[in-house]
Amino acid sequence: MSIAIVQRIVYGVLLVLAVVILDFLLIQAAPGDVVDVLVTEAGGGDPAIAAQIRAAYGLDKPVHVQLFTYLGKMLTGDLGHSYYYDEPVLSLLLSHLPVTLMLVVSALVLAVCIGTLLGVIAALRPHGVSSHVVTVFSLLGYATPVFWLGMMVLLLFAQYFPLFPAFGIRTIPVPDGALARTLDILHHLVLPTFTLSILYLAAYSRLSRASMLDVLGSDYVRTARAKGMGEPVVVFKHALKNAALPIVTIAGLQAGAVFSGAVLVETVFSLPGIGPLLYESILRRDYPVMLGVLFGAAVTTVVANIVTDLVYRVMDPRIRAIS
Single-letter residue type at 152: M
Domain boundaries, the chain: 2-75, 89-322
The reported pLDDT for the residue numbered 22 is 92
Assess whether pLDDT exceeds 60 at residue 320. Answer: no
- Answer whether residue 106 shows pLDDT above 80: yes
User: How many whole angstroms separate alpha carbon 31 and alpha carbon 25?
Assistant: 12
Distance (Å, whole) CA 119 – CA 99? 30
Q: Check: CB of residue 121 under 8 Å from CB of residue 134.
A: yes
CB 185 within 8 A of CB 169: yes
- Tens of pLDDT, residue by residue over 225-271, are 777 777 777 777 777 777 777 777 777 777 766 777 777 888 888 88
Neighbours of 300 (CB within 10 A): 17
List, for residues 140-182, the tens digit of each pLDDT value.
877 778 778 888 888 888 888 888 887 888 777 777 778 888 8
Instruction: Report pLDDT digits (tens) over 61-74.
Output: 888 888 888 888 88
Per CATH, domain 89-322 is 1.10.3720.10: yes
The string of DSSP letters for 94-139 reads: HHHHHHHHHHHHHHHHHHHHHHHHHHHHHHHSTTSHHHHHHHHHHH
Closest CA to 265 of 113, 152, 132: 152
The reported pTM is: 0.78
CA dist., res. 270 & res. 172, Å (int) = 14
